[in-house]
């Protein structure tokens, strides 16, 4: 697990207690994230609906699901490929329990029953998958979770009685609550932004809470943690449950954004894309998940046209993604965030030198 160890030095180093610093210093330290939050809050004033939902909204949702993977991989040392599937389960359950264009399958329960239940089922599923893989170590996790994810994909593809096979579900509405139609672009954008910010804060908080610190201990040396009395399997399974909650909320939002879900939503390609997002962004810091998602969404939306514009075959998009991923894995194991950190560190050290 060398990658996780090298990349995750960040979260460990940042363990400094927030209470020790004065508020202005805290603002200065987190200026970039506060600025980003401000920009995202004010974005609807300037940006059109396409940018709001299809670029930023999609980025934040993918970022949330990738964040759950980052949490498990970065803090727990468990590269779980089942997170996209957890999101898929939540999405499918929203369609099955709630409303869709298929009255033969959908149960049309009200949203306040269907949505929490869907999230609950997805969390149970994610926890169960975690319990299966938590007893094995390291590299086995990838194999087992990938096998579970692929099994779910083939199940949705083959099964017509619950998952409606190849076609999946369409016309899944977002609910109307407090008189607001949450399908409308701006309310949906704020809902996504709220959930993403909350999950980010939750991951940052948990990573510094006793549970998160113990989890990082389990990652670094499971034997020693066991020897001093921690139940390492319980810590791992709890981490899976927490991550599954974030992924499940992301899955529900994804269905509300796209209005549809089909086997491809949580297919093998989507599963692998999610890992690519998390690794390219960087497994060392929660923000990496969102950075990776942003790069992915931008590439996905514009690379085709850009490739054609420079005279290349637009269909070679996957090769670009794969090569980019390889470059990151080979040369910057802590992702784009790691590149950025080393770059800023070099700048600041160069500054320090010139002042002396």
Partner 1 sequence: MATAFDGERAVRGGSRGDVLVRWIGGHPAAALITGLAVVGVLWLILAPWPAGFEDLFGRKRLLITALFNGITLGGLYFLVASGFTLIFGLMRNVNLAHGSLYLFGGYMGYETVDWTGSWLLSYVVAFICCAIIGAAMQVLIFRRMEGQDLRQTLTTLGLSIVFADLMVWVWGGNAFQITTPDYLMGPTPVPIVVAVKSSGEAVFLAYPRVRLAIFAAAVLIGIGMWLVLNRTRIGVMIRAGVDDRDMLSVLGYPVQLVFVLVFAFGAGLAGMAGIVGGTFQSISLGEDSHFLLASLQVVIVGGMGSIPGAALGALIIGLSEQIGLVYFQNYATVLTFLIMVIVLALRPQGLLGKR
Count how many residues are written for the chain: 356
Rounded to an integer, what distance in angstroms lies between the CA atom of residue 171 and that of residue 346? 51
- Of all helices (H) and strands (E), which one includes residue 186? helix 185-208
According to CB under 8 A, which one of 148, 195, 203, 295 is a site residue for partner 1? 148
| Residue 153 Cβ vs partner 1, minimum distance, rounded to whole Å | 9
| Residue 30 Cβ vs partner 1, minimum distance, rounded to whole Å | 30
Rounded to an integer, what distance in angstroms lies between the CA atom of residue 237 and that of residue 251? 20
Kindly state whether residue 110 participates in binding partner 1, applying the rule CB under 8 A: no
Nearer to partner 1, 86 or 174 (CB): 86
Kindly state whether residue 138 participates in binding partner 1, applying the rule CB under 8 A: yes
DSSP assignment of 228-282 equals TT--HHHHHHHHHHHHHHHHHHHHHHHHHHHS-B-GGGGSHHHHHHHHHHHHHH-
Residues 273-312 that bind partner 1 (CB under 8 A): 275-276, 279
173-181, 193-201, 322-330, 336-344 -> range binding partner 1 (CB under 8 A): 322-330
Structure tokens at 103: 């009255």
Rounded to an integer, what distance in angstroms lies between the CA atom of residue 336 and that of residue 238? 29
Residues 156-175 that bind partner 1 (CB under 8 A): 158-161
Nearer to partner 1, 135 or 224 (CB): 135
Kindly state whether residue 132 participates in binding partner 1, applying the rule CB under 8 A: yes
332 Ramachandran zone, left/alpha/beta (phi>0; psi -120 to 50): beta
What is the 3-state composition of the chain as percent helix, strand, coil, each rounded to the nearest 5? 75, 0, 20
Nearer to partner 1, 199 or 262 (CB): 262
* Site residues, partner 1 (CB under 8 A): 1-4, 79, 132-133, 135-136, 138-140, 142-144, 146-148, 150-151, 154-155, 158-161, 268-269, 272, 275-276, 279, 313, 315-319, 321-323, 325-326, 329-330, 333
């Amino acid at each position: 697990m060398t990658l996780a160890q090298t990349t995750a030095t960040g979260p460990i180093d940042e363990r400094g207690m927030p209470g020790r610093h004065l508020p202005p210093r805290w603002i200065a330290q987190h200026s970039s994230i506060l600025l980003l939050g401000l920009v995202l809050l004010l974005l609807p004033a300037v940006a059109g609906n396409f940018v709001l939902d299809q670029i930023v909204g999609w980025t934040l949702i993918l970022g949330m699901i990738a964040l759950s993977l980052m949490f498990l991989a970065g803090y727990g040392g468990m590269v779980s490929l089942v997170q996209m599937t957890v999101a898929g389960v939540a999405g499918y359950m929203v369609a099955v329990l709630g409303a869709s264009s298929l009255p033969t399958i959908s149960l049309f329960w009200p949203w306040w029953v269907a949505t929490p239940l869907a999230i609950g089922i997805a969390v149970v599923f994610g926890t169960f998958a975690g319990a299966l893989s938590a007893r094995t170590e390291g590299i086995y996790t990838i194999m087992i979770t990938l096998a579970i994810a692929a099994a779910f994909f083939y199940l949705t593809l083959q099964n017509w009685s619950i998952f409606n096979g190849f076609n999946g579900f369409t016309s899944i509405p977002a609910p109307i609550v407090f008189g607001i139609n949450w399908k409308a672009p701006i309310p949906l954008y704020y809902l996504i932004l709220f959930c993403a910010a909350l999950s980010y804060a939750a991951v940052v908080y948990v990573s510094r809470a006793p549970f998160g610190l113990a989890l990082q201990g389990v990652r670094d040396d499971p034997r020693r943690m066991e020897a001093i009395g921690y139940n390492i399997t319980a810590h791992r399974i709890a981490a899976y449950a927490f991550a599954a909650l974030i992924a499940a909320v992301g899955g529900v939002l994804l269905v509300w954004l796209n209005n549809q879900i089909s086997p491809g939503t949580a297919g093998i390609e989507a599963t692998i894309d999610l890992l690519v997002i998390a690794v390219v962004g960087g497994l060392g810091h929660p923000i990496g998940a969102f950075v990776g998602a942003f790069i992915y969404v931008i590439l996905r939306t514009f690379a085709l046209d850009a490739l054609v514009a420079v005279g290349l075959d637009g269909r070679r998009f996957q090769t670009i993604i794969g090569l980019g991923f390889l470059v990151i894995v080979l040369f910057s194991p802590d992702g784009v965030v790691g590149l950025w950190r080393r770059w800023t560190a070099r700048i600041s050290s160069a500054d320090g030198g010139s002042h002396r």
